[in-house]
């Protein structure tokens, strides 16, 4: 029997543990935190917030894998009326529809022609003009968490724009938050015999068996002592706000004048906040030298547009900042293949959202985890079917 050690109990680590155990390996998983989940962890308490991306995109490979194992669970549907309450800030004013230039760039045929070697701003500007390119780049920030999406590879940004703007939407939300999904994955791991140790920080790389390091890239760099484990990421101000319920509030507001997005997650899942309250979560990318206050100021502007009188309705508020914790971004001339490789040699493999694997958001973690386990077991690919 193969033995595999997994370091990190987030989405990537649990995917690796389940996949390895299904393939017959004896798996031990170490998690430094007291609970599993990583950025997919759902906060305990009356306001069930998240640190990382909230949505599962049904166009990704993890969707089928989770569903076939009964791990996907119930989803929180967005009521049709709420779907009509998406708003955009464009030229400083609220709009109900995005500019046509954004829709044109989001079309599959256009997006798939975007070049790797040119930045999005230049490529899109030739097609729809500078203003339309800027609006489209800012809309794509909902899946990028980067202060200047227009400066990134056109192919990288265009794919995320296409996925984020697709109709009907690809984004779906686990009922009760990501924590419910993590709980199902952890239960599946236990059924398969995975030995899980929480509050078990690993400071020295385990020996004697293949190791999948499913941590942040910063943590992997320290653990492996490998200074080459770097890749660009974004810096994002995160804002969580609970408001007393008011009819007519927006479902979400997308900032097309600057990168930013705020969404009322209780529109699809009322279990995330107490009765009579609604939970909003926003992300506002800022540059390396911008103060946090710049992102919070933009948050206030979007709240003013979509949630009138919000200051008088606040019942709870939390602010945070994420640096490089929301996935890799690819500069012009690079693709996911140029990121730190999964196979680090000597039986060590990386998994996570900043390594060399394709996909959007959590799809990168998922794909890299399966790749790591496949390599660790000496197989070209894993059987993704049940049983």
Look at the block and give the residue holding tokens 């077991």: 377
Q: Is 276 exposed, middle or buried (0-12, 13-18, 19+ CB in 10 A)?
A: exposed
Mean pLDDT of the chain: 92
On whether residue 91 sits in a domain, the answer given is: yes
Residue 269, pLDDT above cutoff 70: yes
On whether residue 366 sits in a domain, the answer given is: yes
The pLDDT assigned to 385 comes to: 39
Same domain, 19 and 146: no
Domain that holds residue 323: 84-172+233-328
Residue 51, pLDDT above cutoff 80: no
**Mind listing the pLDDT tens digit for each residue in 211-225?**
999 999 999 999 999
Q: Is 338 exposed, middle or buried (0-12, 13-18, 19+ CB in 10 A)?
A: middle
Which of the residue ranges 63-72, 77-86, 181-190, 303-312 would you say has the lowest mean pLDDT?
A: 77-86
Same domain, 242 and 299: yes
DSSP secondary structure code for residue 58 in this structure: T
The predicted model gives 107-135 an average pLDDT of 96
Same domain, 186 and 156: no
- Pairwise CA distance, residues 6 & 311, whole Å: 45
Same domain, 359 and 280: no
Output the domain CATH number for residue 364.
Answer: 3.50.50.60
Whole-angstrom CA distances from 283 to 125, 156, 211 are 25, 20, 34
The pLDDT assigned to 382 comes to: 55
Residue 53, pLDDT above cutoff 80: no
The pLDDT assigned to 327 comes to: 87
Which contiguous run of DSSP H or E holds residue 218?
Answer: helix 217-224
Residue 359, pLDDT above cutoff 70: yes
Q: Which of 158-167, 186-195, 322-331 has the highest mean pLDDT?
A: 186-195
**261, 253 Cβ separation under 8 angstroms:** yes
The encoded tokens of residue 272 equal 């995330």
Please state whether the predicted TM-score (pTM) of the whole model is above 0.85.
yes
| Residue 121 CB contacts under 8 Å (≥ 6 apart), including other chains | 130, 133, 134, 137, 150, 151
DSSP secondary structure code for residue 266 in this structure: G
């Amino acid at each position: 029997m193969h033995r595999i050690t997994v370091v990190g109990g987030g989405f990537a680590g649990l995917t690796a543990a389940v996949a390895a155990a299904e393939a017959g390996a004896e798996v031990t998983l170490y998690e430094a935190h007291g609970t599993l989940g990583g950025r997919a962890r759902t906060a305990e308490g009356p306001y069930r917030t998240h640190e990382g991306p909230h949505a599962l995109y049904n166009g990704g490979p993890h969707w089928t894998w989770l569903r076939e194992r009964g791990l996907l669970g119930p989803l929180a549907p967005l009521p049709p009326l709420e779907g009509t309450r998406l708003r955009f800030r464009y030229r400083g004013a609220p709009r109900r529809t995005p500019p046509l230039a954004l829709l044109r760039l989001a079309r599959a045929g256009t997006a798939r022609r975007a070049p790797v070697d040119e930045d999005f701003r230049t490529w899109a500007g030739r097609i729809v003009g500078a203003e339309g390119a800027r609006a489209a780049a800012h809309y794509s920030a909902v899946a990028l968490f980067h202060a200047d999406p227009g400066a990134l590879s056109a192919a990288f940004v265009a794919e995320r724009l296409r996925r984020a703007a697709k109709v009907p939407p690809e984004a779906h939300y686990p009922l009760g938050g990501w924590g419910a999904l993590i709980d199902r994955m952890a239960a599946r791991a236990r059924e398969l015999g995975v030995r899980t140790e929480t509050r078990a920080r690993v400071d020295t790389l385990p020996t004697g068996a293949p190791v999948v390091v499913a941590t942040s890239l910063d943590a992997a760099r320290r653990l492996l002592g490998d200074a080459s484990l770097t890749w660009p990421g974004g810096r994002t101000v995160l804002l969580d706000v609970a408001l007393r319920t008011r009819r007519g509030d927006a479902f979400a507001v997308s900032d097309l004048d600057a990168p930013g997005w705020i969404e009322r997650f209780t529109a699809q899942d009322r279990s995330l906040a107490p009765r009579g309250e609604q939970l909003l979560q926003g992300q506002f990318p800022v540059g390396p030298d911008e103060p946090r206050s710049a992102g919070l100021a933009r948050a206030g502007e979007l709240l003013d547009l979509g949630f009138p009188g919000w200051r008088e309705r606040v019942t709870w508020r939390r602010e945070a900042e994420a640096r490089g914790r929301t996935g890799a971004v690819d500069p012009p001339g690079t693709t996911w293949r140029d990121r730190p490789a999964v196979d680090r040699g000597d039986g060590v493999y990386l998994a996570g959202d900043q390594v060399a694997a394709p996909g959007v958001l959590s799809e990168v973690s998922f794909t890299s985890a399966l790749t790591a386990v496949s390599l660790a077991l000496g197989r070209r690919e894993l059987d993704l079917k049940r049983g």
